[in-house]
Chain A
Amino acid sequence: MTAYVLRRTGGALLVLLLLSVAVYALFYVAPGDPAKLACGPRCNAEQIAQVRDQLRLGEPLPVQYLHFLQGLVTGRDYSTGTGVLHCPAPCFGLSYQNDQPVAQLLASRLPVTASLAIGAMVLWLLLGVGTGLLSALRRGGATERVLTVLTLTGTATPVFITGLLLLMIFCATLQWLPFPTYVPLTEDPEQWAWNLLLPWTTLALLESAKYARLTRSATLETLAEDHIRTFRAYGLRERRIVGRHALRGALPPVVALNAVDLGTMFGGAMLTETLFGLPGLGRLTVESVRTVDLPVVVGAVLGVGAAVVLANAVADVLYALADRRVTLT
């Protein structure tokens, strides 16, 4: 087991390293002069040369990459002519827009995305696992028919359409909910939740369909197993069999999907934040792409990539621990 964990961690680290090489090469070799982008549209040739010097863009690319890696571990100092800008570890560089360290910028937006993700996750687990169980219980009936159609439509509907429709119903027509603005949890928990209710529902509706399908099939599979037949033979009530024993079989895949889906969820967060104007990580990424703020884009992409790779590794290990039938390779 220990050997498996070590090997899995090693593999994940290797993938991360390769990912960083690929992303670095892709973004800084791309057409367009990073020095010009960093300096801004009103810079003259001399200023651009100065920026090129500061960012050490004159050095060969592999050396630049090593500096970048070193910055991630130990932090980096940038001289600005008049003083020194320190970028603490992990340093992804300074934003071209306002010279703020990228990690700091990302961290400042993280609470918004975390608020969105955690609330949505609670909702979609409740909705998804609930619907999945219900449709497994009522298999063959009208309830299942309706639920299947609903989940199918749920998976096929893009986030922004769900969000726009919800906005039209609850915000414009019924006027039950405000157009979301972000209120920090620490400031006013009630307003925080009230404002985030629409974004949570939007993201949760998309994801819950997937979880409903997974829960349903995993539950049905467990219900077909021998020990369930034995419980039935003992005369246990169906409700108890499903609620207690079949659910246990359905949970590991649901947990695993949660981890594997982290990246998809970030994509969803990007759309949700843009639609509702929430100042989170997703919106920051989209804005940085529009303004070609390469260090921020690279930081966001590497951050999401690292989160996905690590979550996958953790999910695999947990999966192996939870289910001894899984062979370790």
Chain B
Amino acid sequence: MATRQGWALATALLVASASVASGHQPAPAPAAGSPLAPDPSLAVIRPAPDFALSGVDGADVRLSELRGRVVLLSFIYTSCTAACPLLTQRMAVLQGRLAEAGLFPAQVNLVSVTVDPERDSPAVLARYAQAFTANPRGWRFLRSERDRLGPVLTSYDEWTRRLPGGDIDHPARLHLIDRAGQVREIYSLGLFDEKQALLDIRKLLREPR
């Protein structure tokens, strides 16, 4: 039942975003008054704290192994009914845009880390990734036991608070990491714009290695 619900939820969200997702065109040059910024100023916020967590296949993935690629990192949990599915859906839309632009998975990778390892087993996480059509060649879903996960969450200012009923309150942020392993932008889910994120990523890819 949980699996069917997860699939249905993902489908509903993807359908809801069809108007956004269907137009997978390269971002056009912004017109006068357009909210898009083709040349964003992306200061170095800080070095992205490195970590090693387990993929759904059980093998460790170390963030620093992705150096040389731009990485978009988020924190989610699969039984979340609020921000997480929307956040993951937005990343799925971005995955599509990046693939069409020829940037995914060779130059840009996505990483989603569960903040709820007790409920998000590797199998649950794998089904969640499938439900959002995540391409495992460039979108990794990671987990670990609490003792390894805790310091990672702390290093990204990603606190969690368990609410009555089992939901987990946590900041819904996305961290954009450049090819040198530095955090260059942090997005708020509520105001995340995939088109602008694509422009941000292109800006980072234009920088000399």
A binds B: no
